[in-house]
Structures are given as C-alpha cells and as structure tokens.
Amino acid sequence: MKKLLHFTLALVAALMLSTISCNAGNEDSEIEIRNSNSLRVENIKVSTNGNIEFNDDYTDVKAMSDDAYIKISMVSFGMKRKLYIHSEEGRILYRYMEGSREVDFEPKGREWMKKMLPDIVRSSGMDLENRVNKVYKKSGISGFLKELEETRSDYYRSNMVRYLLKNNSLNKNELRSLIREFPYRIKSDYELSRIYKKYNPIFIHDPEISEEFFKSLEELSSNYELSQVLKSVYRQNELNLNNFNRFIDAMDDISSSYEKSNLIKMALADNKLTKAQLDVLLDEVEEIGSNYEKSQIIKSIIKVDGLSSSNANKIIELTGSISSDYEMGLIINSMIHEEMLNQSNLDEFIDLLDNISSDYTFRRILNQLITYDELGDDRFDFLLDVSDEISSSYELSRFYKALAMTGGMTKKQQLKLINKSGNISSNYELANFLKLATIKMDIEDNDIRDALIEAAQGIESEFEYGKVMKAIYSKNQPSN
C-alpha cells in the first residue's frame, strides 16, 4: 500500500512541488518557499523577527512586539512583489511594492496579503502550535484535518498532529478520524514515527482505535522506523492478547532479520509474556531468515521460565529450520543446559538430530548427553543407537571412548559398546578405542575379554592389531 501511495504522490508532485528551507539565527528566521505547477512558478522568501500574533483566519497581523517584523518577497514569472509589516510605537505599519515601485497598501497590498498570507503561514510553520489549537477549537477535527491536508511539509504536518495530541483530549470518534487520516498525509517515515513513538498509548487503549492504529503502521516502509515504533508500543503499554497479536502481525512488515530479532528479544527480556503470547511469538520466529538471529532468539526463549511441553516441542521444531550446524549445536547445548530435553520429546529430538550433517557437532552433542539424567534409564542405549549416524571414524572413536571413560557401565552395556566398535572403519581409530577399553572395561570377565579379541579381528593392520592384542594379554588372565 505504501508503494501505491508513493506512486500516487509522485504524480501529484509532478503538478505541485513545494520545497521549504529554514535558517534561524538568534531571533531572526528566514524561510524560502518554492511552489510550481504547470501554470506558474513562485519563489517566496519570508523573514521574521519578534513575537507576531495573527487574526483567526491568518489574513492579517493582529499584534506585534516592539521592533517585530515580517518581510515577504515573491517572484513569479518575472513579476516581483514585496510586503513589509513591522511594529512602531505600538502601531502596525505596512509597506507594499510591485517591482521597484512602492504601491499604496490599500487596496492592492491588502488584497495580495489576504490572498498570500494564509498559505505562507501554513507553509512556513509560523505560529504553528497556536494555529493548531485555534483551528481545532473553532472547527473541530474536520477543520484540523483540512488544515493538515493544505499543509505541504511533512515536518510541519508531523508537528501539527503532535501539537493537537499534546494540547487536546480527543474523543473516540475524533481519534478514529485522526488515525484514518494523518498516516496517509505524511510521507516521511521519520516524521510519522515521531508521532507514533510519542503518542501511541492514546490509540492503544480502545480496541477499535487500536485496530486502526496497528493497520496504519503499514505506511512505515523503513524497517528501522517501524521497529522503533513497535519497541515504543511494547514498552509503553500493557498489551492484551489482541493487541499483542497485532503487534506480532506488524512485525511481518519488517524484512530485516536484525530489527525483527531485536524486537522479539526485547519482548522476551522482561519475562512478562503469557503462555498464549509466547505461543504467538514462537510462530513469528519461524519467519526470521538469518540463522544467527534466529538462533539468538531461540536461545533466549529457552531461558524463559515455565515453558510448557508444547513450547519445548515448538522450539525443537524451530531449531530444525536452522541450516547452520554450528548454530544448531549451540541451541541444543542450551536445551541440555536448561534440561529441556526429556523422554516425552525424545522422538522430536531424534528428528532434530537428523538435520545435523557435521559429525563433529553431532558427536559434541552426544558427549553432553552421556551424563544427562533427563533421558532416563535408556540413555545409554539411545546414545549408542543414534551414534550410528556418525560416519567419521575419528569422531565415532572419540564418542565411544567418552562413553568408556565415564565408567559405571553394566556388563551388557560394555558388550554392546564393544560390538558397536565394528562401525569404526579406521584401523588406527579402532585400535585406539580397543586399547582404552582394555583399561576401562572389566577385562577379567571372560565374555568381555572374548568380545575385545573378536573386535580386534576387524583390524587389518598387523601393527595396530598387535598393539591391541598386547594390551589384552598384558592383563591378568581371567579367573575360571
């Protein structure tokens, strides 16, 4: 919708272009205004000094402080006009010139002033806050919106909306009219976000107005400005579930993984999310494209207190969508550290392990689970079975040695581990494991000793085979 609006505004800009610049030093102010369309071009320069009070319709000056003045000069198709209004001894004096010739102010000068002054005041931002309040009190929200439409600068339009909200208490219908209008009148994301960040609580309280507010955020095309607005919304309001859902939906318009990730981490940081809100947030994490940002969020979620079993399953599912083995390994490390894995989600965890292609990462995860009691009594058999996915003889040997080093294995477990060693295809790595097994296992048991000898038959290198057999027979002979 924002793109369509930009295209429409570009067409309008071809017919009417207004550029404004303002330089102020001490109490002097100088503004340049350029208006152009297919019929004419106007270059206007306005200089002011002192306090100036206008009449209600801004067609004349009502009062001025001592030595205050307004100078207006306009060039249009070569025709030059100048108007000088100043205060002298409590009187307001006017001088009007056409070209280089001074002309009586009455009636031509006054007619030109009445025609030009309202638009000049509107375009230059003079008396802006006071003008907003006067327009609203006189003509209500409809009058204000008309004035907003006729103001061409995003900067002044933004200030007008902020002054209106700052100085007046709008009712529900007025707020609805305002939120339906001003976001589509201000093209600058920065100026629009200034309003949203400061005054979003006014629009969040009522459910109907809140819906209009979140819908209007679609007009922000800048990832940064939208993320800043949403941060402000979250920090300044206690969002009910409906508003939280709208808050999450608004994130969909943020294409930057970094900005979206920061928003989600902010919401997680204060630990005040309800279960329902956390479920909604988890669904949004899936939309983040960056493996790094997604993994950072998932690790933050894992630390949230009171995660439900459905939350845990969703986190495991989200982790499976990360293509980086390194990042996935870090997340699983966090799961283990926070004791999230248990027998109830073991099947989901096995499916997750299938996504890891790195034998190094896979082995490191299994190593951490060797002493992980949450997997229950079947932990050893589970680890030994899933280790079949490790194709590297080096990593597989390291894992088997880590199992053997823990000690406390039953005879059945020792025999199963020795039998599994046949999966090690490297003569060197198999020999290394079997030598360690002769030290860490109950080699005085006939069955275990025979199993080690049988496993050594798989070593094709006579040198490595000899080292293993020497280690076996150097031990005391088994007792009958």
pLDDT at 476: 57
Same domain, 131 and 232: yes
Report the mean per-residue pLDDT for the chain.
88
Evaluate if residue 12 carries a pLDDT over 90.
no
Within a domain: residue 291? Answer: no
Evaluate if residue 160 carries a pLDDT over 90.
yes
Evaluate if residue 226 carries a pLDDT over 70.
yes
C-alpha–C-alpha distance, residues 386 and 41, integer Å: 79
Number of domain units in the chain = 2
Within a domain: residue 89? Answer: yes
Within a domain: residue 383? Answer: no
pLDDT at 122: 84
Same domain, 231 and 142: yes
Same domain, 101 and 177: no
Within a domain: residue 277? Answer: no
Evaluate if residue 10 carries a pLDDT over 50.
no
Domain-ending residue, one of 221, 238, 255 = 238
Q: Measured in Å, how far apart are the chain's first and last C-alpha atoms?
A: 87
Most confident of 7-11, 14-18, 152-156: 152-156
Same domain, 26 and 82: yes
Same domain, 170 and 120: no
Same domain, 138 and 212: yes
The domain containing residue 91 runs over which residues?
Answer: 17-125
Same domain, 180 and 110: no
Within a domain: residue 3? Answer: no
Domain-ending residue, one of 125, 157, 191 = 125
Domain-ending residue, one of 125, 152, 184 = 125
pLDDT at 22: 38
pLDDT at 27: 56
Evaluate if residue 227 carries a pLDDT over 90.
yes
pTM higher than the cut 0.85: no
Evaluate if residue 88 carries a pLDDT over 80.
yes
Same domain, 145 and 78: no
Same domain, 38 and 90: yes
Evaluate if residue 348 carries a pLDDT over 80.
yes
70: left (phi over 0), alpha (psi -120 to 50) or beta: beta
